[in-house]
Amino acid sequence: MREFEGLVESFEGNRVVLDQTAFNPRGGGLVSDTGRLNGMTVVEATKEGDNVFHLLEAPADLRVGDRVHGVLDWERRHRIMRMHTTAHILSSVVNGETGALITGNQIGPVESRVDFNLEHFDKDRMSVYIEKVNDAVKRGLEVRAYFMKREEAMAVPGLVKLANAAPPTVDLLRIVQIGDVDTQADGGVHVKNTGEIGTVIGLRTENKGKNNRRVYFTVK
Ligand SMILES: [Zn+2]
């Protein structure tokens, strides 16, 4: 969703909360969307409790109940979706090849990174992994999102990798499935089809401590 209508629920200075929003707030390793509300620039969206705060560039002239038209910076958002979907495919490939698990990620529109708990990382293997990622991307895999009861999801091995991230009070988990490559509980934004990703480029790897290997990539 690139554009939407919402009603102002509250605002304070340049922080606005709406009754609904298409802005994906910063979190889970993803940077925030940016865009506009009634033509005013939204520099960041953050989540506190159940509320998404839209941070405007300047104080807003708004009233509670005002209708606003929201527009996402779609080029940025689509790059974030391409990068995030790529991170899942890369994680699946590296996990399949080495057994390494992800210890962190940072997804942004320009470059992104995934951290793996690997003691040794053969840099020459990097190009092989990226090639496998591009093979999956080019297969044009459908990306599906659906909801599953928490206890059912917990019973599927490997599905809930961040079980502690979702509070136990949440009894429906969102599952994201990328063709036959990756299925897991995930709250982030993804493309509809891996064909949208284009070409994945491995940028560099870094050693971040004994068991931590950081892999940077981008999409073109
Ligand atoms: Zn994710």
How far apart, in whole angstroms, are the C-alpha atoms of residue 46 and residue 107?
15
Q: How confident is the model at residue 208 (pLDDT cuts 50, 70, 90)?
A: confident
pLDDT tens across 127-155, in order? 999 999 999 999 999 999 999 998 888 88
Gap from CA of 39 to ligand 1 centroid (Å): 30
Higher-pLDDT residue of 162, 113: 113
Rounded distance from Cα 56 to ligand 1 centre (Å): 27
Between the CA of 87 and the centroid of ligand 1 the distance, in Å, is 7
Instruction: Say if residue 165's pLDDT is above 70.
Output: no
The Cβ of residue 87 has, within 10 Å, a number of other Cβ atoms equal to 26
What is the C-alpha separation between 125 and 97, in angstroms, rounded?
Answer: 10
- Mean pLDDT to the nearest integer, 112-135: 90
